[in-house]
Structure 1
Amino acid sequence: MTTNKVLSQLGLAQRAGKLVTGDEIVLKAIRGQQTQLVFVASDASENTKKKFRDKCKTYGVPLAIGFTRDELGASLGKLDRVIVGVTDNGFAQLMKNGLMTMSEVEYIE
């Protein structure tokens, strides 16, 4: 599965209303155990990466770091996005399967 496939799946999830974006909204969704997978842009600040690594680990949410903010935003049809949370288990499973084969993405289960 290619990078484009995972990004396309993010776009489908966006159109289906199965994503949350933005720092505070995604944090709230993680705390409420509503997220199945979280994406953090590879060009996010180290502080942001650490915050989401720690929060996802605490709540047992898989985390992927590896797409740029421009790639994430473009896949959603929006301007750059740094944090994206997938709220649907079906979409999350599809994306997790694709992420496991991508060497350029840091995937933490």
Structure 2
Amino acid sequence: MQNRTISMIGIAAKAGKVVSGEFSTEKAIKEFKAYLVIVAKDASDNTKKKFKNSTDFYKVKYVELFDKDELGRCIGKEFRASIAVTDENLANAILKTID
């Protein structure tokens, strides 16, 4: 499961369909561009709560996966607390690897 999920997130990132970082993720949610928000398990409780509330309000899928280092590595960057997938098909494909 984990390797397939990492691969799918990497594919989405290479396709340019991932935004990362708190500001960019929040912006994607509010502009109705995000279909899936992934928050690192070791992100602060405040960050988790903020994104959980935001995704509930805007009806975006939300999951907590990996730690900050792993999440960043998935997209070829340094550690990231949050990412948003901006393509519906890729978001659904990532969710299928999690279930």
**Coarse TM-score class (shorter-chain normalised):** over 0.9
TM-score by length of 1: 0.88
Q: Are 1:32 and 2:31 counterparts?
A: yes
For 1:8 and 1:35, locate their aligned partners in 2 and report how far apart those are by CA, in whole Å.
19
Percent sequence identity is 39
Structure 1 stretch displaced more, 39-48 or 91-100: 91-100
- When you count helix as a share of all residues, which structure comes out higher? 2
Q: Would you say how many aligned residue pairs link Structure 1 and Structure 2? A: 99
Please tell me the residue identity of whatever aligns with 1:91. Answer: L
Query: 1:55: how far off?
Result: 0.2
Please tell me the residue identity of whatever aligns with 1:56. Answer: T
Once the two structures are superposed, the pairs formed by residues 76-87 of structure 1 within 5 Å of their partners are: 76-87=75-86
Q: Which runs of 4+ in 1 moved over 6 A?
A: none
Q: Deviations over 1:81-103 (max 9, x none)?
A: 11100000111010111222xxx
TM-score by length of 2: 0.96
Query: Hey, what does 2:97 align to over in structure 1?
Result: 98
For 1:96 and 1:10, locate their aligned partners in 2 and report how far apart those are by CA, in whole Å.
10
Query: 1:75: how far off?
Result: 1.1
Structure 2 unaligned blocks of 5 or more: none
Q: Deviations over 1:3-55 (max 9, x none)?
A: 11111111111110000011111111101110000000000000000000000
For 1:40 and 1:16, locate their aligned partners in 2 and report how far apart those are by CA, in whole Å.
20
Structure 1 unaligned blocks of 5 or more: 101-109
